[in-house]
Amino acid sequence: MTEEGRTSEGADRARKLFEAHMPELVPVLDRLAGQLDRPEGDTFLTLATVRPFFSGCTQIGGNGILLRNYDFSPDDCEGTIVSSHFLRPVIGMQDAAWGLLDGMNDAGLAVSLTFGGRFVHGPGFAILIVLRYLLETCDSVDEAIGKLQSIPIAIPQNVTLVDSEKAVTVFVGPDIPLAEAPDACAANHQHLPVPDEQEQFSRTQERLSAIRAVGTDVAAMLKPPLYQSGYDEGLGTVYTAHYQPSEGRVTYYWPGESWEHSFDDFVPGFRTVTIGQAASRSR
């Protein structure tokens, strides 16, 4: 949490922001906060006082499919796939207690995030709780975009949304109005040109070009340049997620392994997986 968020004034602002923009989730927030043994737990769960964090990621939507690589530091990834029923059934990759990196709901809507590539920060929510809110309250891409337009987002993010009829990527952030991307693909930039130093570090334009060329191809996501190995820089691929929301089904992939879940068949368990090998083998 930010230092401002640890003050009584900051906590009050976070609460009011949550009540104003996510009123449907307030009872859930209070119930979850009551289960925590930390006095700042209720403020943390608003995810409106979180220090900015930056990651990689590449994603694409189309033909009812949402496919993404999540690139981050493995040590800082919660690694929990959750089937929840707060307001409705939702399955997704959880982070920050109840936020989501990506997920789908029982209405056939799927959403996913990537960092927008600009290192600015402002008042607003971590995108993790926004994805949770969209999946808990929206049935379609259009409905979700409508809600996104008025929710303050703390750092630049690219959000890809998919339902049975539409796939869209939008750019959001603390310093820009919501803008629709040229297609339903995203890496880690929003507007061109990308500075040379940023491209050398993140290869965001290279990855975006690659995913546009291959489409929703799981095999391509498990190979360079889409599969990344920069784990020491927080840019290694931690998992690949393949959502088919109209079927209520998601499959997570790692080199040589996959794990499928659905609303009809979600069995609690755990896996130990090996990451990073696909990139090294293909060199």
199-253 pLDDT tens trace = 999 999 999 999 999 999 999 999 999 999 999 888 999 999 999 999 999 999 9
150, with CB counted inside 10 A (0-12, 13-18, 19+), is: exposed
pLDDT > 90? residue 2: no
Mean per-residue pLDDT of the chain: 94
The pLDDT, as a whole number, for residue 3 is: 81
Cα(43)–Cα(33) distance, integer angstroms: 8
pLDDT > 50? residue 50: yes
The pLDDT, as a whole number, for residue 282 is: 33
Cα(96)–Cα(110) distance, integer angstroms: 19
Q: How many CB atoms lie within 10 A of CB 68?
A: 27
121-154 pLDDT tens trace = 999 999 999 999 999 999 999 999 999 999 999 9
The pLDDT, as a whole number, for residue 175 is: 96
Answer for the pair 155, 51: CB distance below 8 angstroms, yes or no: no
pLDDT > 80? residue 256: yes
60-116 pLDDT tens trace = 999 999 999 999 999 999 999 999 999 999 999 999 999 999 999 999 999 999 999
pLDDT > 90? residue 190: yes
Q: CA neighbours within 13 Å on the CB side: how many for 29?
A: 24
The pLDDT, as a whole number, for residue 278 is: 60
143-182 pLDDT tens trace = 999 999 999 999 999 999 999 999 999 999 999 999 999 9
Cα(250)–Cα(83) distance, integer angstroms: 11
Provide CB contacts within 8 A for 42, sequence distance 6+: 11, 15, 29, 30, 33, 36
Question: In the chain, at which residue ranges do the beta strands (DSSP E only) sit?
Answer: 58-62, 65-72, 80-85, 89-95, 99-105, 110-115, 157-162, 167-173, 176-180, 185-186, 229-230, 235-244, 249-254, 257-262
The pLDDT, as a whole number, for residue 147 is: 98
The pLDDT, as a whole number, for residue 281 is: 38
The pLDDT, as a whole number, for residue 60 is: 98
Q: What is the pTM of this model?
A: 0.95
Cα(257)–Cα(269) distance, integer angstroms: 15
Helices (H), the chain: 8-21, 26-33, 41-45, 127-137, 141-148, 196-202, 204-214, 218-221, 277-281
pLDDT > 60? residue 279: no
- Percent of the residues in the chain that have a pLDDT greater than 90, as a whole number: 86
- Which of 76, 57, 58, 110 is CA-nearest to residue 251? 110
The pLDDT, as a whole number, for residue 182 is: 96
